[in-house]
């Protein structure tokens, strides 16, 4: 029987909330990466609705239709996964308009925190790149600013009903919670944020999330609950 397939790099960035939503929703999927598919880059171009310009993540539906644009896949206008995937009988994208707004707003805020790192991807010099990433998390840094806002927002979240917004925020926090595939992020950037920690632990301990990460032995970054102690050894893992 045909199943869903996700094409993405073997890292916990934009593709990870999609993997996690599928896992939480109990939707079986093939996790295709550059590590297990030698034709990854050719398939990316041929499958993407955007052709040559195509990027990943790409979600291929069981009938062969390929979806791109991570926001449209998990949230946004199409809200495909948020409608298809349920947790404890409730769709991950809320049907109530205000709850849906909260989920979207959480995704946007987590993206505000994530997106400044994009400015460092093109820095060729390793030391310069790591310094630029550390500066984003230093006092007054762009990512530190949004982490504080995320913490304040999560203080108001009852952390009772799982939404695509919670999953997205969880994954974006894990992207910067060492060990991470991103080099140069200082260990402990969320140490001062009790609500981010509480939110992390809530989601990391949900049965399908625990089950999903249980067999990701080869990648510390895929094991949120095991993360921070190893971080101090500055382990990186792509
Ligand atoms: N708007 C796109 C952006 C996707 C994106 O930036 N993908 C990057 C990886 S995170 C990529 O495919 N880079 C390789 C390439 O451009 O060929 C989305 O949200 O899906």
Which pLDDT does position 78 carry in this prediction? 42
Local structure of 4: helix, strand or coil: strand
What is the atom index within ligand 1 of the atom nearest the CA of 13? 10
Which pLDDT does position 221 carry in this prediction? 46
Which pLDDT does position 1 carry in this prediction? 78
Q: How far is the CA of 70 from the centre of ligand 1 (A)?
A: 9
Which pLDDT does position 94 carry in this prediction? 92
- CA 202 from chain centre, in angstroms, equals 16
Residue 161 structure tokens: 């009903």
Residue 81 structure tokens: 């996964």
Give the tens place of pLDDT for each residue, 10-49. Answer: 888 899 999 999 999 999 999 999 999 999 999 999 999 8
Q: How far is the CA of 18 from the centre of ligand 1 (A)?
A: 14
Local structure of 87: helix, strand or coil: strand
Residue 181's alpha-carbon distances to 57, 109, 176, 234, 236, in angstroms, are 17, 22, 9, 11, 5
| Ligand 1 contact via 172 beta carbon (within 6 Å) | no
Return d(Cα 205, Cα 151) in angstroms, integer. Answer: 19
Return d(Cα 85, Cα 107) in angstroms, integer. Answer: 17
Question: Which H or E run contains 194?
Answer: helix 194-204
Helix pair angle (97-114, 164-176), 10° resolution: 10
| Ligand 1 contact via 12 beta carbon (within 6 Å) | no
What is the atom index within ligand 1 of the atom nearest the CA of 9? 9
Residue 82 structure tokens: 């948020």
Q: Residue 155 — φ and ψ, nearest 5°?
A: -60, -25
The torsion angle over the Cα atoms of residues 40, 42, 47 and 53, rounded to 10 degrees, is: 110
Q: List, for the chain, all residue ranges whose pLDDT scores fall below the cut of 50.
A: 76-78, 219-222, 227-238
Which pLDDT does position 59 carry in this prediction? 94
| Ligand 1 contact via 33 beta carbon (within 6 Å) | no
| Ligand 1 contact via 198 beta carbon (within 6 Å) | no
Which residue among 54, 55, 238 is best mutated to probe the pocket of ligand 1, counting the most ligand atoms within 8 A of its Cβ? 55
Which pLDDT does position 152 carry in this prediction? 98
Q: Residue whose CA is closest, atom 1 of ligand 1? A: 69
């Amino acid at each position: 029987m045909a199943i869903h397939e996700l094409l993405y790099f073997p890292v916990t960035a934009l593709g990870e909330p999609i993997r996690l939503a599928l896992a939480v929703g109990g939707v079986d999927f093939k996790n295709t990466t550059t590590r297990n598919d030698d034709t990854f880059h050719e398939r990316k171009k041929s499958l993407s609705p955007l052709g040559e310009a195509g990027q990943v993540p790409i979600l291929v539906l069981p009938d062969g239709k390929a979806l791109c644009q991570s926001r449209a896949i998990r949230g946004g206008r199409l809200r495909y996964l948020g409608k298809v995937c349920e947790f404890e009988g409730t769709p991950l994208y809320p049907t109530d308009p205000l709850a849906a707004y909260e989920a979207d707003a959480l995704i946007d805020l987590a993206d505000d925190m994530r997106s400044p790192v994009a400015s460092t991807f093109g820095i060729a010099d390793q030391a310069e790149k790591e310094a630029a990433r550390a500066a984003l998390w230093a006092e007054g840094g762009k990512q530190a600013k949004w982490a504080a806002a995320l913490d304040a927002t999560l203080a108001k979240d009852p952390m009772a009903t799982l939404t695509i917004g919670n999953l997205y925020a969880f994954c974006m926090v894990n992207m910067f919670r060492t060990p991470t595939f991103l080099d140069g992020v200082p260990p402990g950037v969320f140490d001062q944020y009790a609500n981010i920690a509480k939110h992390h632990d809530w989601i990391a301990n949900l049965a399908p999330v625990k089950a999903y990460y249980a067999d990701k032995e080869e990648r510390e970054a895929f094991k949120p609950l095991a993360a921070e102690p190893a971080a101090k050894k500055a382990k990186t893992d792509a």
